[in-house]
Structure 1
Amino acid sequence: MKFSNSYSQLDNVFYQRTSPAQVSRPQLLLWNQELADQLLLTGDFCRDKALLAQYFSGNRILEGADPIAQAYAGHQFGSFNPQLGDGRAHLLGEVLSDNGLRYDIQLKGSGQTRFSRQGDGKCAIGPAVREYIMSEAMYALGVPSSRCLAVTATGDLVFRETAKPGAVVTRVAASHIRVGTFEYFAARGDLESLEALTGFAINRHFPEITLNSDLDRSQRVLHFLSAVIDKQITLIVNWLRVGFIHGVMNTDNTAISGETIDFGPCAMMGIYHPGTVFSSIDTRGRYAFGNQAAIGQWNMARLAEALLPLIDEIPEKAVALAEPLIRQFSRDFEQAYQLMLANKLGMASLTAQSNEQAGGPTASLAEDLLAQMQEQELDYTQTFARLTLSLENAEEAAKLSHELGPWYGKWRTLLTDEGITADTAKSLMADTNPVVIPRNHHVEAILTEYEQSGDSREIDDFLTVLRTPYKLLPQTQKFQDLPADGDRHYRTFCGT
């Protein structure tokens, strides 16, 4: 692993240099060889599990790594906390992958830093394995996501409600720069650091802005804000496509790279309802499934506020320049969302009438289906998978025609009117609608079994299926069943 540590070359106000805590008996539990290959981490090193456990528990530091804990702030459930930071994580450094892209390598659950706020800096084995499973599932579903390279048991206990075995997750992300990182410096009035951070983020994630020499500083910052907004829209539309609920969309959990990051109280929607929320700490449903777009826009407004001093020295002028980009979020999101729904129904684009006016035939048909799914308490993933199947299966078509009534006939008629063959529609739908997702009851059952037995075979079987979510494997059916209670009593909890 060849490290190239650009973030740690910034001024030390951006981080604390600190080493991971030592653990007593590190043991490698899960290893992502596919990801290791992409990171050019190969050879005898990858076959030595004892050595891997030493490095990815934090007991030993990889050559060239420069461990730091990053500083950031954040709005948590709408309330601003001026100092959060990596309270249980250490960024080892950055590496280039086989495709030339730069990725952060971070240990999570690796001990206290000055940002720990009286926390122990540790992670229990359950949340560690959850992040591994969920991030791999999201990646396979085609949703921008951080990933996990390894989960390493520490041999030490972590005390939460009860004593649990501890673990360290090795997380790989395009970066760990968050909206809250910009808020951290803006709140302190540290414009020099804010400008340095913005320049760094542009160079790392949006180099095309740097290459445009015609832009002045204000224009560069506005282009940056617009690019981050586009990434967030793409991310959230993909969440809604597969039924993912992040659960804690605070600005400190909003990566400007547009990746899904932090899998604490996340969950998957079963029965369709836009108000679905599972997080035990989201008592008012702020981050419910159907609110995620509005929260994405709210988070982008907080990023815009942080960037205002760089846009123009006169606050009123800065607001006048940034506000249209925030307002544009709603329009751009709605267009991307409606196109996604059209794809889920086999149409590669919105119909001509849909492009001309809101509520055209494609958009209206999709919204009518969602309303019917909500009323009849239909499963989100299963319904779209059955619609896909019905295009080639007459028996399934007859069942859905009975269950969905006139809607099913309207859909098939619209496909015909648009000149879309059943084969064409099925091909697009099969690539858009997964046949399997990491259903909450299966995730919980596997985590419980693993905590009790330490046997990873069930995790391996689960991941084999989740890594091929758009195709039926012989073992897929094992993980397609719906929860007996419809997830009505399911709750997720933050892993801290």
Structure 2
Amino acid sequence: MASEQPYRADPAILALGDAFYDQVEPADFPQRIERFFNHLHAQRVGLGRLDDGERERHFGCFEPLPENLTKPLALRYHGHQFRHYNPELGDGRGFLFAQLRDDRDRLLDLGTKGSGQTPWSRSGDGRLTLKGGVREILATEMLEALGVNTSKTFALYETGEELWRGDEPSPTRSSVMTRLSHGHIRIGSFQRLAFHQDHDNLARLVDYCLEQLYGETPQGDTQARAVRLFDLAATATAELAASYMAAGFVHGVLNSDNIAITGESFDYGPWRFTPKWEEGFTAAYFDQMGLYSFGRQPEAIHWDLVQLGSSLTLIGKIDDLQPVANGWTDRFDAALIEKLLWRLGVAPDEDDRELAQSIVTALGTDDVLIDRFFIDWRGGIDPGGETYAGEGFRKLAAHLKGRANENARSHPYWSDPAPCSMHIEEVETIWDAIAENDDWQPLYEKIDAIRRMGEAMGA
């Protein structure tokens, strides 16, 4: 295990000013039982040595961390929800709790979900179901193992309240979650400022993101800085969309307020992994038109990026922003090739576009399971025509000729009889053990299995 990094508080968001957030109070929960703590990532931000009591005070009661934010901040933002603009959004059941530097000197946020009501809660109770917290642990662990740039579930406490939800058997158990993220600034953060025609704060937010989240010293005039941030966000979101496809993941709610300016995936509600390469596969029961289905995720994320570009026209030139938006698909295509080859364990080469297309074609075969395919073909090694006899597989084998990478199969995981998957049936089984018997062992065993797969993948 990596050595403990020093704790380095850096509440940089305060420099933006109170036009960006509201100070709030955390809920006072009747109970705080630690159900999960991410020791691995705690070490990377200097919090790995906290004892049980300290963890409860900071992530169950939200006592401020040393030299950090003295009050939690509910961030303000707008956003398009299923393509309909909503100016009444904001952190409605969470807040920014702390900011700190990690072992790569990145500015990270500790934010919450289920920590109580805020000025942006509208009619919500500000709470998170325990099942929702468990699902987020599973999503973030699996995505991290599959090489997706994702937020990390940092801590989960059961909080002893009964919650009523229309989409879960109720009453159901409650929780509060802390996530570790590379920023909580969203496309919707920019949309809000553009909506209010707030030129000065929009320019201020651009500089904050360039300097604090992308590690760049802002260069040039305001227009040039806006275009530079848009260019960085275009690459980051293209990589996000590509990583979802290569992982077989369906986020479910790709609204513009759920797209981080850093391109980091976060906020997991009705997510699912699709067993097969089914472009029409949806995660959310309320996505009846399939707007955010598996195959339409690149389109959805690109659409959100265009909303960012539209917001930045308030301070940037549309003639400079438009080419970036128009070139997004090329960036996505390049990123998808990279992500597919990484998951297959094959080094890049000149004919990668044709190879990637062969992979997608093979995955589209009716009876192929995505996770089974990637374990069978790991390292670019043809498992043989007896199992994979179809024309698409034989073309893939031809494209892979001479590119086998035996080292990619060196981890014992690749000899397992079955891949480590995360389909809805297993998610429900893990939750049922908790709901019916308060048995947390299946969850912890699954986390161990996922991390073992991530180790084998080199994530």
| Equivalent-residue separation in structure 2 for 1:204 and 1:456 (angstroms) | 38
Question: What is the CA distance between 1:233 and its match in structure 2?
Answer: 1.0
Does the C-alpha gap of structure 1 residues 276 and 153 become closer, same or farther in structure 2, counting only changes over 3 Å? same
Q: Is the 8 A contact 1:435 1:471 kept in 2?
A: no
Which aligned pairs between 1:242-261 and structure 2 lie closer than 5 A? 242-261=247-266
Given the alignment of the two structures, is residue 397 of structure 1 paired with residue 384 of structure 2, yes or no? yes
The residue identity in structure 2 corresponding to 1:287 is: Y
What is aligned with 1:208? 216
What is aligned with 2:4? none
Match of 2:355 among 349, 358, 362: 362
| Equivalent-residue separation in structure 2 for 1:108 and 1:14 (angstroms) | 19
Match of 1:165 among 155, 161, 173: 173
Question: What is the CA distance between 1:221 and its match in structure 2?
Answer: 1.2
Does the C-alpha gap of structure 1 residues 471 and 41 become closer, same or farther in structure 2, counting only changes over 3 Å? closer
| Equivalent-residue separation in structure 2 for 1:304 and 1:7 (angstroms) | 23
What is aligned with 1:332? 331
TM-score (norm 1): 0.83
Q: Is the 8 A contact 2:184 2:260 kept in 1?
A: yes
What is aligned with 1:442? 426
CA displacement 1:328-351 (0-9 Å, x = unmatched): 001221232234445556653354
Q: Report the aligned-residue RMSD.
A: 2.5
Given the alignment of the two structures, is residue 423 of structure 1 paired with residue 406 of structure 2, yes or no? yes
Given the alignment of the two structures, is residue 15 of structure 1 paired with residue 8 of structure 2, yes or no? no
Other structure's SS at 1:80 match: strand
Given the alignment of the two structures, is residue 304 of structure 1 paired with residue 288 of structure 2, yes or no? no
Question: What is the CA distance between 1:191 and its match in structure 2?
Answer: 1.3
Q: Is the 8 A contact 1:14 1:70 kept in 2?
A: yes
Does the C-alpha gap of structure 1 residues 51 and 413 become closer, same or farther in structure 2, counting only changes over 3 Å? closer
Does the C-alpha gap of structure 1 residues 350 and 157 become closer, same or farther in structure 2, counting only changes over 3 Å? same
The residue identity in structure 2 corresponding to 1:414 is: H
What is aligned with 2:63? 60
The residue identity in structure 2 corresponding to 1:291 is: R
Match of 2:196 among 170, 174, 188: 188
Match of 1:149 among 141, 147, 154: 154
| Equivalent-residue separation in structure 2 for 1:195 and 1:413 (angstroms) | 52
CA displacement 1:464-491 (0-9 Å, x = unmatched): 0011225789xxxxxxxxxxxxxxxxxx
Which aligned pairs between 1:444-463 and structure 2 lie closer than 5 A? 444-463=428-447
The residue identity in structure 2 corresponding to 1:463 is: I
CA displacement 1:18-63 (0-9 Å, x = unmatched): 11011112121111111111111133xx232x44223212363434
CA displacement 1:374-414 (0-9 Å, x = unmatched): xx23211212322238937xxx5243243x2x333333333
What is aligned with 1:4? 10
Q: Aligned residues, how many? A: 442
| Equivalent-residue separation in structure 1 for 2:329 and 2:194 (angstroms) | 25
What is aligned with 2:371? 381
What is aligned with 1:29? 35
What is aligned with 2:136? 131
Does the C-alpha gap of structure 1 residues 112 and 328 become closer, same or farther in structure 2, counting only changes over 3 Å? same
| Equivalent-residue separation in structure 2 for 1:458 and 1:146 (angstroms) | 23
Question: What is the CA distance between 1:12 and its match in structure 2?
Answer: 1.2
Other structure's SS at 1:366 match: helix
TM-score (norm 2): 0.89
The residue identity in structure 2 corresponding to 1:62 is: L
What is aligned with 1:412? 397
| Equivalent-residue separation in structure 2 for 1:199 and 1:471 (angstroms) | 36
What is aligned with 2:3? none
What is aligned with 1:39? 45
Does the C-alpha gap of structure 1 residues 232 and 157 become closer, same or farther in structure 2, counting only changes over 3 Å? same
Structure 1: state its 5+ residue gaps.
312-317, 356-360, 474-496
Q: Is the 8 A contact 2:91 2:121 kept in 1?
A: yes
Question: What is the CA distance between 1:16 and its match in structure 2?
Answer: 0.5
Q: Is the 8 A contact 1:243 1:380 kept in 2?
A: yes
Match of 1:110 among 115, 128, 134: 115
What is aligned with 2:453? 469
What is aligned with 1:274? 279
Does the C-alpha gap of structure 1 residues 109 and 401 become closer, same or farther in structure 2, counting only changes over 3 Å? closer
Does the C-alpha gap of structure 1 residues 377 and 201 become closer, same or farther in structure 2, counting only changes over 3 Å? same
Of Structure 1 and Structure 2, the greater helix share is in: 1
Paired-residue identity, %:
26
| Equivalent-residue separation in structure 2 for 1:470 and 1:17 (angstroms) | 38
Other structure's SS at 1:283 match: coil
Does the C-alpha gap of structure 1 residues 345 and 2 become closer, same or farther in structure 2, counting only changes over 3 Å? closer
| Equivalent-residue separation in structure 1 for 2:16 and 2:397 (angstroms) | 57
Q: Which structure would you say has the larger Rg?
A: 1
